[in-house]
Each structure stands twice: as C-alpha cells, then as structure tokens.
Amino acid sequence: MIHPLAWLIWLAAELAVLSATRNPLYLASAIACTAIVLLRLRGRVVDAPTVPLSPLRFGLVVLPLAALFNALTVHMGRTVLLRLPTPLPLLGGPITLEALTFGALNGLALTGIYAAFIVLNYAVAVRALVGLIPRAFFPVAVVTSIALTFVPVTLRHWRQIRNAQAIRGHRIRGLHDWLPLFLPLLIGGLEHAFQLAEAMTARGFAGAAETVPMRRARTVIAAGLLTLLAGWVLWLAWQQRAIGIPLMALGGGMVVASLWWLGRQVPRTTYRPTHWYPRDTVIALASGTAAAAFLVAWPGWDRSSIFFYPYPALASPGFSGWIALALGGLLVPALLIPPTRYLSLFQSAWANRAILKRDASVQEGQAVTGSPSGIATVAMYPSEAAYPSTPTGEPR
Amino acid sequence: MIIFRDVSYTYPGAARPALRHVDFHLPEASFALVVGRSGAGKSTLLRCVNGLVPHFSGGTFAGRLAVAGLDPLYATPRAMSRRVGFVFQNPEAQFVLDRVEDEIAFALENAAMPRQEMRVRVEEVLDLLDLAALRERKLETLSGGERQRVAIAAALAFRPRVLVLDEPTSQLDPQSAEDVLNALVRLNHDLGLTILLAEHRLERVLQYADRVIALPDSPDGENGVLCGTTREVLPQLKLLPPLVALAKQLNWQPLPLTTKEGLHFSRALTEHILPVLPVAASPRYGAVGLALQRVWVCYDRQPVLRDVSLEVRRGEILVLMGRNGSGKTTLLKTLVGLVRPESGRVWVDGREVTGEDVATICRRAGYLPQEADTLLFADTVRQELEITLRNHGLPEHDEAIESLLAQLGLTAHAGRYPRDLSVGERQRAALGAITVTQPVALLLDEPTRGLDYTAKEALSALLRHWRDAGMAILVVTHDVEFAARTADRVVLISQGELIAEGVPAKVMGASPLFAPQIARLFPGRGWLTVEEALRGLGVV
C-alpha cells in the first residue's frame, strides 16, 4: 500500500496545479493524470467506498453551468456571440466567447479538484488518515476512531427509530415532529457511549494523568504557535523579513519539538504501522516537482505558458514541454500501484517469510522479545506458579 | 480463583442494595453459570470481578474479594484487565475500531506491548476463536455471532485467566449463540480458562457448566446466594429449563442435564404406554386478520420473499420460524408497509393496504420490532400510550389506558421513566405503545430476546389473553420452547418460501431443528411442553 502521507502530498500537488493554471492544455493533462490514477485504483480497492457522484458526471454538470454563469455575468472580451438587452440587470450586455471559455476552464479545474478528492477517497481509508495524527494528540486520535465507528451504528439506529415512530402513527408534518426522532437517537447515543466507556475500562484503557512536564510542553506549543504568528505578521504586514522569518522558524521549531517530546511520553505501540517505502518517496518527489513547476519562479524557468488568460481576445494557449514533463509527476502513483494479483502473492510470500523466521528463532531457543511470557509455543495460560499470587490479595 | 467474602454493594443513589452478603468460592478452570431473574444483580456481580464495580460505577461496597490473586478493590480496573477478560451483552457497544485485527490489538497497543509480542497474541486469539479467515473483515459486515467472537478474542488478548461474560448470547439467534457457546466450552476445556457466564436460556448452557451461582429474586430475600455444582443447585431453583423441570416433577435421579441423559428415563416410562397421537381440536378461528397473497419482495433485485401466501385469522397465534436471513422480518415489515412488495396483495383487517402509509396500517396492526427500545422516548410509561393515541388522532380515554396498563402489569410503573425499567417491563411498555389503538392484529419480531423464564411466561399468557379476545397474532421467533407454549399454528420459512405449516405438535415435534426439549425426550408422542408430558404420562 502507498503511504497515506504520500497520497496527501499528491493531493496537495494536484490542488496546487489545478488552482495555479487556467491553461486548458495543462488542465486537461492534470485531469488525464487524475483519471488514469483513478482507473488504476478502482479495480483493486477491496472495500470500495461509495462515491456520491462520478467525476465524469460532475464534470458534465459543472462545466456547462460554470461556462454559462461566467458568460452571463462577465461581459468582457472581443468575440461577441450575441447581445442580451441591456435593461436586464447583471445579465444584460454582450455574451462573449472569451467569457464562455474562461467559465468552462474554471469548471474544468473544479472537476479536476473533485476527481482528485475522489482518488483520495479510494486510495486512503479515513482510518489511515486518523493514523497520521501525531502521537502527542493520541487521545484525539482515539476519539476520532471511535467517532468513525459510531457513524454507521448511528445511521442504523436512526433508520430503526424512524421505522419505530412510523409504527406508532408518527407523521412528520412540521419541525416539531422531528423531536420524537432525535430524542431516542440522542438517548441511544448516550447509552452507547456509556457502554463503550465501560467496555474500554474493562480492557484496561485509562486516560493517563497529565504530568507537570507534559503541561509545560503544552504551554511551549502555545508559545510556539504565537511566535510563529508574530513572525508571520511581522513579515507580511511590516515587511520585516530579517526578524519575521527567524521568528517563524523558532516558533515552528518549538511546536515540532514539543510535539515530538509529548509523543514520546505516550506509552503506546502500533500493531500495524504504515511503512514509508522508497516508492512513497518517489511519489512525494514527483508530486512536489509538478507543484513546484507551477508555483515557484525558478530563475531561467519560462512560466509564461502557465498564465493563460482568454481576455480580451481568445488566443491559442502556450505550451512548454518541460512543464508538461513535470506535470507527468502526478501520474507516478498510477505506475506504482501494484496490480492486485501480484500484490496478494507478494503479501502471502512476505507473511510466510515472517513465520519461517519466527519459527527458526524459536527453535534456536531465542525469545523474540524480552517478554517473560514468551511466544506462541509457551502455554497460553500459565499456571498459578507463573504469576506468583500476592498473599495480600486473599481475604483472611 | 474467584473468592467473594460477604460482599454487599449499593449503587450510588439507590435505596436498596444490588448485592447483599454474597459469599462463594470458585476454583480454577470452572465453567460457572450465574442465574437469576432480570434485576437480581447478575450484571453487578460480574462487574465486581474485574473492578468495574465499584471503580467505574461508584457506590458503597462492603466485603472482600480475590480474583486471580488480586483484590479488585485495591487494584485498578486497568490492572484487573490483564487477569480478567470481560464480554458485554451487546457486541456492537464494545467496539472501538472497525476491523477485526485492529479491534483485537487495540488493548495491546494501549498497553504499549512490543509489536512482535502483539503479533503473536493476535494470531493466538484469532486461532482460538476460529477467526483467522475473518481477520481483514470490517466488523459491520460480520454476523452477530462472529462479532461476539471478536469481542471474546479482544478480551482474551491479554491472556487473562478468567473470562467473564454478561449474557453474551442474548442478542443472537440460536445458531450464532451455539457458535459462541462452543467457543467458550473449547476455551474452558483446552486451556483451563475460568469462565463466569450469565445466561437466561439455561436449556442451552446447563450441560456445559460445572458450577451454578444462583442469585435470589431480590437481594432482601431470606435465601442467600446459592453456589455449588450444577446438580447440587438445580433442584433448589424455580426457573428451570423444561427438561429439568420435568425431571424434578418425576423425581429422576441423578437429575438429567442433556436430552441424552433424559432419554434413559423417558424410555423406561413410555415403554408400556401406547403412543396416542393427539387429536387437534378443530380450530374455531374468526375472520381473517392478516393476509398475504402471492407476495414477492426483493432487495437489490435479490428475491427475499418468493410467492408467499399466508393467512392469520382472528383468535389464533401463528408462529413463524426459520433460519437467520430467511425473510421472517421482511414478511412482518411487508404486512405493515415498511417494505413494499414487488408484486402480490396484502390485507390487514380485511382491507387491502396498497398505497396506505405505515401509520395508517399500524392503527389496525400493532408491530413490535426487534429493537423494542427504539419505540420508547417519552418521560413516563403512561405518556408513551397517550402519545400514540395523539399521533393517530384518537381520543384519550383514561379508562382504556388504565385497563391496558393493568393487562400489561404496568399499573405500578405508569409514572416511571420507561428506560429505567427491566427488559421485560420495557418490552411491555413498548407493547402498550403499539396496542393502545386496539388493533385487530399484532405482529411481534423476536419478542423473547433477553427475557428470563418468568417474563417469557408472562408474555405468553398476555398473548393468549389477547388471542382469546379475538386478536390475530403473528410471532416471529427462534425460541422453540416459547413457540411450543404459545403457538396455535406454526409456519416454517426458508429462503423466502414457506416450507411447512400446521399445528405445533406436527410441525415442531418431528423436526430435529425446531423440536423443543420435551419433544426430543418423547419422540413421536406429540408432547411439546412439560404440562402436556405430565398429562400424557397420567401424572396429573
């Protein structure tokens, strides 16, 4: 699997490109890249998420709408197609090909953005995104996970309640009639929350007490954020680059360092960590290059073709082979998504290897970890002797 | 392994104690059953074992406890979680994550267990609970039994020495419940895990348990808590499965716990009695209350009901039985308009319901869904009834409401908050909320879930009373003993088709799957209940 962070970087690059240019050639290329990635993904996602509207349909609706809206409200441009009577407020005036084109290009960019989010939806489970929350905010991550588990349960509960109230002759005529539906949902939700709290306590989950150094670290985060903000304001509002940028760096450093330190204070391991493989680096670099080609004014880099503007008269858009090449970076995930069949073969081979390795180490008499209870070959429920019972626990 | 010394406990704000002078000792590797009426304090007792009571619930606690060498009173629930695994009634309400493996690993991750060790533990419990094939699955796609097994696996991840389960099968159908219980037996036999299980349906678990802890009906009663081997305690209990109840009446010694043991006695008794097939009294039913004619229902183009025709007459109780997913609930929903049939006709009280909305149909046909709690939302039981009347625009006659509350046995609880009542009382409150319109037909979906023997008997009596008053009653249930006591007619459904229909003695008596315990004990006699058997044997 491609790392969720790599996907986020890809999405950011995609959004940057789509919002930086209105050149139809680049827009179309970016969208083509997205479409190919999406098609590659679609075949191999197991729990395919439900997509409210396919990007193609979205485009078919949004593109004409955006073109029409722009043409009706913006009356600039030389190529006049027809004239609406001027007494009409806002709409009146010449309808130009340029305005129509520009609107369509905006629609195209919107479609691309929509498609990019659909790709993310396919590629990364929400759960995996939650996994990206820094460990310092571990309680936040747990709460988010629980909320995600709550959603389908609540939806089912909602359907049950709607049916149950219909059975009792309940009809929805006005706002007031929603109360009998929300009240049981709320009560049910609270009951569920209580049961879950009990279950989590029974499984040894307890909120760790906050120590003084941890509270200090949180203060440092707040101070860091303030410093960051101050530096930014100095830079932007008063053009004090010399003070502003170091201040921002200092603030950022404070935040990152305290987050890192706080994360280390949370005693927690991950059962199935997401690994960052070389292919993730490739995706991140390729996406970064694509975004940089559109955003950064490198010396000697001809960016004029990026800024396509149809007004006052429509002209053919410029094209730079280098920029198009950089844009191809957005296609990289499609090349690196492993095909399903090979993927499963690879995974089972990998799993077998891990088991063989473990067995080998068992035979050699090495414990895999330093844990006293050892590994699978040791009796699962050690006898009383293994856990010396404390005499203080027994009632006398 | 588990020692209770004179334990008493009162919930915060409660007037009376939930537990009083509980005193017992449970040796290692026992499979102990906790029995008692609902509200007798079973859940409270179980929660003492891992320290949820009093650490999570508060309240006043007296007495001493020792569990697996620790004192739950002084150790935190966190420390106890390493020694005691706990599984709750509702599998849904105990899940934190959404995938099988992740859910099992959750507690281990929090305990900062090294990854290598964690992998081993997860593999172990996946194998123990037979979940390896489901490891990647999302929890919401699993059946109830599978989910409950995941919950057990998650509870075992710490390799505890005691497993406590609070009515783990009450929300499950018989097949899933069987899966879960078999898993427990395996854990107990193969690993010597000490198991403490609260369960209502004794007929299913009694054979596995070697110890029984019986709580008195109310903690104030003179009888204290009984604890001992199954055969020591059973004769002193009032709520018993049919086999044991009959054996007690006929003085069979030693008390049989399984049909196999019982057959030994029953054979000897019936050797000299010629089988007399029961002559079914010719039913004198009234007009048709509910009817389906050639009904097809599809979900996602998959037929769920195929060409179903069925009639329920006024003055009869029809019980519909069948596997999970065989279309039972869909059939009920079709009758009240919650599901629209693809083709076919539906009548309620002699009127075709096509095009009528659910509310209009439900005035003539009360429908109690599986999740009866979702019906309740008012502040008092009485208001629940009044709100239904108001919804339908019917007059609120105090007398009618009072008499219905009296029938339901809720007169004393009329002013109470419905959700504070016991399971059985809550269900009766929901029944009140749907029958206050005096419908001619009543549909019930799995009404015995989570009910103890007393509550089931009360429900059965109530249904028979309403039937005699001329109601057409259709019950969907998995509970064969309840069906045997209650039904006038039984219909079996499989894959959306009705496959058998007739009097209970005929349909259930012969089927190995749906035969109640007594029918298994006296095959071919047509006796289904303890009373019928006693009458047939000439004892009464």
Nearest to A268 among B112, B158, B387 (CB): B112
Chain-centroid distance, C-alpha B89: 11
Burial state string for A36-54 with b = 16 or more CB within 10 A and e = fewer than 16:
ebbebbeeeeeeeeeeeee
Question: What is the greatest pairwise CA distance in chain B?
Answer: 71
How many CB pairs (< 8 A) connect A and B?
211
More confident residue, A386 or B304: B304
pLDDT confidence bin for A394, thresholds 50/70/90: very low
Nearest to B107 among A168, A180, A205 (CB): A205
Listing DSSP states for B407-435 in one string gives: HTT-GGGTTS-GGGS-HHHHHHHHHHHHH
Residue B475: predicted pLDDT: 96
Cα–Cα distances in angstroms (integers) from residue B158 to residues A279, A373, B72, B90, in the given order: 36, 11, 17, 21
Q: Classify burial at B16, counting beta carbons within 10 Å of its beta carbon; exposed 0-12, middle 13-18, buried 19 or more.
A: exposed
The answer to whether residue B62 neighbours chain A at the CB level (below 8 Å) is no
Residue A365: predicted pLDDT: 44
Interface contact B96-A369, CB threshold 8 A: no
ω into B523 cis (within 30 of 0) = no
Lowest mean pLDDT among A170-184, A282-296, A310-324: A170-184
List all residues 6 or more positions away from B219 whose beta carbon is below 8 Å from its beta carbon.
Answer: B16, B17, B18, B19, B20, B40, B41
For chain A, how far is it from start to end, CA to CA, in angstroms? 58
Query: What does the DSSP 8-state code read for residue B379?
Result: S
| pLDDT, average across residues A127-138 | 80
Residue A395 confidence (pLDDT) above 50: no
Residue B221: predicted pLDDT: 60
Residue A187 confidence (pLDDT) above 60: yes
The answer to whether residue A166 neighbours chain B at the CB level (below 8 Å) is yes
Q: How many CA atoms lie within 13 A of B504 on its CB side?
A: 24
Count CB-CB contacts under 10 A for residue A240. Answer: 14
Query: What does the DSSP 8-state code read for residue A389?
Result: P
Per-residue pLDDT tens for A357-377? 555 554 444 444 434 433 333
* Sheet strand arrangement including B194-198: B84-87, B162-166, B194-198, B31-35, B211-214, B226-229
Rounded to 10 degrees, what is the CA torsion of A106, A110, A116, A118? -160
Q: How far apart are CA B365 and CA A316, in angstroms?
A: 72
Nearest to B392 among A46, A169, A390 (CB): A169
Interface contact A168-B64, CB threshold 8 A: no
Q: Measuring CA to CA, which residue among A154, A129, A158, A156 is closest to residue A144? A: A129
Task: Please report how the helices A138-167 and A179-202 are oriented relative to each other, as an axis angle in degrees rounded to 10.
Answer: 140
Which residues of chain A are within 8 Å of residue B29 when distances are taken between CB atoms?
none
| pLDDT, average across residues A282-288 | 95
Q: How far apart are CA B253 and CA B261, in angstroms?
A: 10
Contact assessment for residue B320 and residue B475, using Cβ atoms and an 8 Å cutoff: yes
Model ipTM value: 0.88
Q: Measuring CA to CA, which residue among A334, A329, A365, A281 is closest to residue A123? A: A334
Count CB-CB contacts under 10 A for residue A302. Answer: 11
Contact assessment for residue B45 and residue B22, using Cβ atoms and an 8 Å cutoff: yes
Per-residue pLDDT tens for B83-96? 999 999 887 788 88
Which residues of chain A are within 8 Å of residue B118 when distances are taken between CB atoms?
269, 271
pLDDT confidence bin for A46, thresholds 50/70/90: low
Contact assessment for residue A63 and residue A111, using Cβ atoms and an 8 Å cutoff: yes
Query: pLDDT under 70 in chain B at which residues?
Result: 218-223, 274-284, 540
